[in-house]
Each structure stands twice: as C-alpha cells, then as structure tokens.
Structure 1
C-alpha cells in the first residue's frame, strides 16, 4: 500500500544523497529494501540505524511502539538478504535478529543514547526486535551513489562530515560521562575513515598519479595528511576506550580531528575533483 509520508522521505534521501532536512535533519537514516514475505516484491522503508563497528549496523523494529512488528521486519525474517542505501553507498546485506543478552545490551545502548526507544517499548507488549545488518562482501570498488568520480569524492566526504557533525552534537549534550553508544559511534567513525584513506592510498591516488603526473605534490601532501589524521583518530580511539575518560576529554579529541579532517577534505576536493572530472 502506498505511503505518501515514507515516499517523500525516500525521495528527499535519494536526491540529497542521505542529507535530510526538517525533523530528520542530522538523523542517522538508511533506506532498507526488503522482499515481501507473502508477495515476493521489493519494499523500501526509511529506517533509523545505530553504528555498531566496522562490519554491521543495527536497526530497531519499533514501529513507534505499535502492537505489531513493522512489515520490513517480517519481510527480512522470511528473506534475510536486503538492500541498504546509506546515502553515499548502496550495498547488499544479510539481516540477523539479535537474541537474548546480545539483543538486550544493544537495546540498552540505544536507550542510553535516545530515551525515545524506551518510550516505544513501554507502549507495547511485544519485545521490540533489534536487527544486525551485515554487509555482504563483493568484489571491486564500493557502489557509490554518484554519477562521476568527482561527485563520488564529494558524496563520500559529505557523509563523513554529517556523521562527525552528529558525533560533535552528541558530545555536547548529556552527562559528563561517555555513553556506550557514543563510544561505539566514535570508534565506528574512526574505522570508516581508516578504510576510506587506505582505499585512496592504495587505489585512487596511484591511478591519479599515473594519469596526472603534475598532481604528485598534491598527492604527497594528501598522504602526509592521512598520516596526521590517522594519529588523531588513534588519539580519539584511546580517549573513548579509556575507562576513566570524561566527555570533555573526548570532545577535545573530536574537535582536533574535526579541524584537521575538514581542512584535508576541502583541499582534496579542490585538487582532485577537477582531475577526476577531466578523466571521466
């Protein structure tokens, strides 16, 4: 059955590569496409998610505290292979409903970060499911939602900017201690940044160097910046994993990383996007 509200969110999400406005500004959203349990047809729904390390994300089948599970949850129980659109990337994933203590710990983390999840649970007699979505590995480069190599850089960079903005917002609110989910958010961000820069160092930069020899000084600077950013990310990792770290200490590390990373992303876009667009 058509859902005009969801359809509007889906359209805005796709047009803006995951950047949302209005009530969803800054929210961590994905588009989740499942296969209908009875019909076998694809169904796409906007769903909030939680970072959960490098190999999976978590989604919560709250349905706003409704008495029945959402359709997408029933679909993925019948057909666990799903499609995830993150804004920057589209990939296939394997869905697995968490059970027992693992489910309870994940839900507790979610509630600590956003008490609204607890309000949904209080409204219903069902135990609200938590589902892990594991990306299915595939050969070749990632499927970036962009029409050119140059646009791909901007799309991926903007996704990092949005997530870092959200982490900075989370660091500026709440108690003086760091919540478990906020720690996970920071660690997941650092791992994603490491993966991105490794891919550039091993893949994109050598390709550009081969086709555009005059870009050598810019590429050398970018590689040096990768090393500095990696050191700052490691400082943040140590800060959020230390048992006695307070929020102010972690926030200071986030701000240091933000300043260095934003300068790096801006310089890279200025130097490489024109070259990649010319190559395309």
Structure 2
C-alpha cells in the first residue's frame, strides 16, 4: 500500500528532521523532494522527484497521498508563485489535507517581508479546496548564534524588541505530531514559539556564556543596516535581512504560546537549552 503521508523538503534541515521522527515512530511516508538522490535513506520511505514549479511532477509525486507536509520553498523572488503551483497540483492529485510550515504573525502588512509571502501562500491554500493545517513558526532559535559576526557582534535594527524564537527540533516534533494524527488538527493554525521571548542583547549574553568568548548586540539604524549589507545580495534579499530585525523591534515576534508543549508533550527548548545540547 502506498504511504498516505508525503513530506517535502526532506533534503533540508527541517523536513529531514520530520522524516526521521516519523520513521522512528514507524510511520510510512513518501519523500517528495527536488533531488531524490540527496534524500535520507530511511525505512518505509520512498523518495520521488518533486519540484514545486513543475505541476506534472508534483501530481505524480503526490498520487495516492492523503496528507502532505509542505515545507516552504527556498527564498526566491517567485517563491509564492511556486507555492501556488504546488498547492494547485496537490489538489489536482487528490490530496485531501496540506500541512503548511508558515511564519509567526503572517500577514499582508507584516514588517518581515517574507511573512507577507507566507500569508499569500496561506490565502491560496485556504481557497484551494484542500483542508489546511498551518504551523506558523517564529524565527529559528538555531539561527540566533549565526547572527554573530566574526568580531563577536550581532548587528541590526532590533532595538529592545523581543523574539520568541523556536528550535527546529521542536518545529519538527510538532509537525510530526500533526502528521501522525492529522484528523485531530484539520483547519487549525498553530503559532510555534520557544518558552521565552528575549532581546538580541539577552541572546548575545547567552551565546557568550556558552562559547566562552565576548558576544554583544549593537543596535543599528535602518540606514546603517542597509549600508553595512550593501552589495551582498539583491534588493529583495536585503529587505528580508533587514526586516528580520525591524520586525523584532516592532514587537511582531514577541509573545510566547503553548503550541509546542501542547503538540509535543514537552517544554519547548530555550536558547540556553539548545546551546547546552549542542555542547554535548
């Protein structure tokens, strides 16, 4: 019998985590990925080619599947168009339910530019006839240490704003919980956060304590933020980078929810927990 669940993005960090959790729980799945040769080799998991922009490939990949986990595609100017193509093809393939990894506070007016893309995808999903389940994750907790530049400084126009960042492991466990018992979550939207909302100054202190080297946060003006990143990426990407900080400053990433413990049965990881675990 063909698996009733398909997982996209299994060659990446988040989708791969979900696929491994499901395998560990004995759940058969289809890994719908752009490059099947790069997919994890897991029991009861067959990898098939599935590029979001190719509707025929999507329909073939999802044939016979009831529930799909859709990890948002790579950040590109046409990402929303690719998402819409995938959703329409999934509906045409007979998929009944689509679990979408969206973003915390997704809105057409969100400060974080990519949150607007997620809102557009959500709206298309709701209009598609598929049953939606939406997981709106806050910024990745795993990403905060990567904000530290070579000189030990986190720079950006975040001010004293707080971010309730959530660990990728917790997002993956929440998604796997939904996929194991999808009927219990039809139509639901969950906002996934960590157990605390912290400033980047506080994050710098936690990172410094775990790495043993000085780490500080230096607030920038928006103009300074653009100037310091000029020439490193196209304009749309620069807008996304800078708005990660301005969204924090605007208070749009603040607010802790109980979605992770409700779905996973355990407390969400904090930055301190994450770095302690990484240290082994």
Q: Which is greater in Rg?
A: 1
TM-score, reference length from structure 2: 0.30
Larger helix proportion of the pair: 1
TM-score for the superposition, normalised by structure 1: 0.30
